[in-house]
Structure 1
């Protein structure tokens, strides 16, 4: 059973009742008993200015002869947040006692020599500190036996009578134990990172403001536990790295379209168990990958796992061939929407800085098999590359347009150069490409295409005729799909230039009748 934090806490009321202050007479007592951490005997008034907080200031006998000295000492002690002021036993004016009351500082009168009170109090404080040292040594032995971060934090919290304790990295709680205070709390933090670490990491205790904990002792316990916390944290990271060995089969997904997910689950059950997957739950998949195919292969797994906790702390992130994968429980569509918002708000800046993109699977009324949602997330991430680092893209906003991402655009442009040389060499190529692409986009409707391009129907008809003259096979249905793909690629790779206007083309504001 752990020691209560009250046992080694010295305060004015306790020492007045059964301690070294029993031989003093209270001239004024504050409503709240102040904590006592040290004692000092003062024979020169200016020495009070060097007193630490929570100290009992004992005025030497020679300072008790004049009321103005006591008044000055009270003011200095109040400024230094002293626990109490002890003066030589004599009669003091109501003015001095009234000053102590106004300042809110305890004033005590010693029956004998104040120096004897100081010596007795120093001995009592020393005894209490020796008890603390023994308890800290016992605690150090206990916490050193824990091997996991959860166990270490649980031991610390138990030593602090259930106070909430957490390990935080860059403001993100990595692990915690104990109960969070319901009212206001005093936060005590001890650094557990390297001295030159770019990102701060800390062991934090949140002590209820209304409690009776000795805050200095709480800090001492955190400092004693810090090496064990750091060791358990590093050990946990090492184990996570070992469990998340890259799995090439997962990225390739050997199952074909429409196949059952049972075989997939069986083949990858070890990795899925590490991701926290359960067959009876519904999930969203998140795939993170590099923004370019040939990006440098720096090891980002440890950094990403820490950043990922800002999005879904209870859903692990595993490294796989081609990126990183996470499965997050998403029982409702709203959960998926909130997950996408968190990805963009909390992770997007870091992804941009690291040269990464992220993809998210979509929501469907009928839950798709596990391989499908992983494929959706992966396709979304690869499609996000064209928008640049930091892009977060959901498959719901992508759909069949994802197919265009996997087209070899250089090869298509080469086909255009070889099969449509006159179009590629034509000075009005951009206008012709835009006209034919709009015509095909609008299912062969001249009116809709002309409206989309903001040109007259006659102008569009002229450009379509010009395209036929340049060898574009618009009248062969079996070739239209390839033509549409070529024109889409050419449109995407064309730089903004002034549109060529053929001499015989008709503007939209022309007064000729449409054909």
Structure 2
């Protein structure tokens, strides 16, 4: 592309200066020289309706028998975005020149035979296309030498003079090379893989509006390099699958959650060693998952592996039974925190688009068993799902709150309807529920609860007594946890119920229950 982008670009001005149009007389030239990609000799007016954009329309001598035919041809050619219209030297009138100027289409006249000019122009276009074919073959050979997807994209971008080249999946950028994204006039895309392919994506070139590239040639280059892009993607997917076997093995072996991590490592100590896991090396586990019912589309794992490279290329992503698992080496707590930040900033939007969440295990100074951190990451991912797609949640900021992930909130609401019917139909239900929640939030302190609600202590006490009258068991310690859970669930349906002083709602919006 670097050597041929100007050589293969034919336009009206260049051919008038030193090409097959040099003997034609310009009757009207547009301010910008039109690109020429084809030529057609027209003997019937209707034929102009079929021409492609960037075509030189040459009118036969017969077409010049009436001035209205030239005017009609100009209009049709303008509608088809033709590069120029060529007429016989004696077949035009001054009115046609004025019409060409108003329409903004180049009009030329030839004193020779129009058919001869069309043949000469066709030969020149054919010669340029042969240069394009040679250029495409060269680019294909160059790209075929690259083994990795990153190198393939870099080579494509280099051949296009640094134009931004992207591999995308449903609008998500999986890999890129070249200039950063900016406002462009042209976005050229070709499909990578078909509808039945395990790998499907879109190869995109974003050509800046200041570029002089032949856009047709850019598309042709994308089309010839698509097999190389797919081959590199398939190769990296194969390598990643092989590297991910040790990670997948841990999730596959750990089928008994009641067993301790130490027991797991003792039972599989020799196997883990053979798989490459070194005892005492600190890791953070990352678990990606979809909704409550795992959904694995055939190409999703390949997509996630490319996305994961934006976080780290050293730790392979493994597809496991109900999600995807990665074990990342983390020497200290700072490295663990940086990992969570990278996932949130670099993958968060893509995870949201794909309907996925991510959960991370804690970093611990006393290195826990691999099975333990995998379980932590899995629980964190399950808890993250309640906060919506795109959430990245670390178990370190979750702790015992993970237990609420397994609480059926609708069932809790039904329990309230059945066990506390008088409360549920009471006209002052919302005020009573708010009072009870504040009372339990502040560990039974009426004074602190009243202050948090900006109420007088006696007013809050009256509402608590009213709650007891309606059947709320505030004086039975063994039932307080259940009461606390019920009022928290009921408050979800009340407008603007969460206050800044609510200790049971942490910064992530998850309820916390004292034990």
**TM-fit CA distance, 1:9:** 1.5
* Partner in structure 1 of residue 155 of structure 2: 155
* Partner in structure 2 of residue 79 of structure 1: 79
1:433-457 CA-to-partner distances (Å, cap 9, x unmatched) read x9x9999986676887996994239
**TM-fit CA distance, 1:56:** 0.9
Q: Does 1:347 align with 2:351?
A: yes
Q: CA RMSD in A?
A: 5.3
* Partner in structure 1 of residue 312 of structure 2: 315
* Partner in structure 2 of residue 14 of structure 1: 14
TM superposition score normalised by structure 1 = 0.66
CA contact (8 A) 2:140 2:224 kept: yes
Distance in 2 between the 1:495 and 1:384 partners?
23
Distance in 2 between the 1:219 and 1:371 partners?
53
SS in 2 for 1:57: strand
Distance in 1 between the 2:352 and 2:71 partners?
61
CA contact (8 A) 1:185 1:208 kept: yes
1:190-232 CA-to-partner distances (Å, cap 9, x unmatched) read 1112234699511111223332222222211111111111111
Question: Which of residues 465, 479, 484 is equivalent to 1:456?
Answer: 465
1:122-162 CA-to-partner distances (Å, cap 9, x unmatched) read 11112222222233233333333322212222332233233
**TM-fit CA distance, 1:78:** 1.0
**TM-fit CA distance, 1:113:** 1.3
Distance in 2 between the 1:12 and 1:383 partners?
64
1:303-354 CA-to-partner distances (Å, cap 9, x unmatched) read 25625766883435623878523769988989967965887654357446xx
CA gap of 1:383–1:23, structure 2 versus 1, over 3 A, is: closer
Q: Does 1:134 align with 2:123?
A: no
Distance in 1 between the 2:144 and 2:329 partners?
34
**TM-fit CA distance, 1:95:** 2.4
* Partner in structure 2 of residue 210 of structure 1: 210
CA contact (8 A) 1:307 1:347 kept: no
Distance in 2 between the 1:289 and 1:91 partners?
72
**TM-fit CA distance, 1:21:** 0.8
1:258-285 CA-to-partner distances (Å, cap 9, x unmatched) read xxxxxxxx9899789xxxxxx9xxx997
CA gap of 1:69–1:349, structure 2 versus 1, over 3 A, is: closer
Q: Out of 210-219 and 4-13, give the one that drifted further.
A: 210-219
* Partner in structure 1 of residue 23 of structure 2: 23
Whose Rg is larger? 1
CA gap of 1:35–1:284, structure 2 versus 1, over 3 A, is: farther
CA contact (8 A) 2:310 2:346 kept: no
Q: Out of 447-456 and 166-175, give the one that drifted further.
A: 447-456
CA gap of 1:350–1:9, structure 2 versus 1, over 3 A, is: closer
Q: Out of 318-327 and 123-132, give the one that drifted further.
A: 318-327
Distance in 2 between the 1:371 and 1:106 partners?
77
CA gap of 1:300–1:318, structure 2 versus 1, over 3 A, is: farther
CA contact (8 A) 2:474 2:480 kept: no
TM superposition score normalised by structure 2 = 0.66
* Partner in structure 2 of residue 58 of structure 1: 58
CA contact (8 A) 1:60 1:115 kept: yes
* Partner in structure 2 of residue 509 of structure 1: none
CA gap of 1:285–1:303, structure 2 versus 1, over 3 A, is: same
**TM-fit CA distance, 1:167:** 1.4
CA contact (8 A) 1:361 1:394 kept: no
1:37-66 CA-to-partner distances (Å, cap 9, x unmatched) read 111111222221121111111111232243
CA gap of 1:143–1:284, structure 2 versus 1, over 3 A, is: same
CA contact (8 A) 2:384 2:393 kept: no
CA gap of 1:370–1:214, structure 2 versus 1, over 3 A, is: farther
Q: Out of 444-453 and 106-115, give the one that drifted further.
A: 444-453
Q: Does 1:379 align with 2:376?
A: yes
**TM-fit CA distance, 1:249:** 6.1
CA gap of 1:176–1:458, structure 2 versus 1, over 3 A, is: closer
1:90-126 CA-to-partner distances (Å, cap 9, x unmatched) read 3844322121111111111112111111111111112
CA contact (8 A) 2:187 2:204 kept: yes
CA contact (8 A) 2:311 2:342 kept: no
* Partner in structure 2 of residue 420 of structure 1: none
Distance in 1 between the 2:308 and 2:386 partners?
18
* Partner in structure 2 of residue 103 of structure 1: 103
CA gap of 1:112–1:267, structure 2 versus 1, over 3 A, is: same
Unaligned runs of 5+ in 1: 257-265, 273-278, 409-426, 468-473, 475-482, 498-515
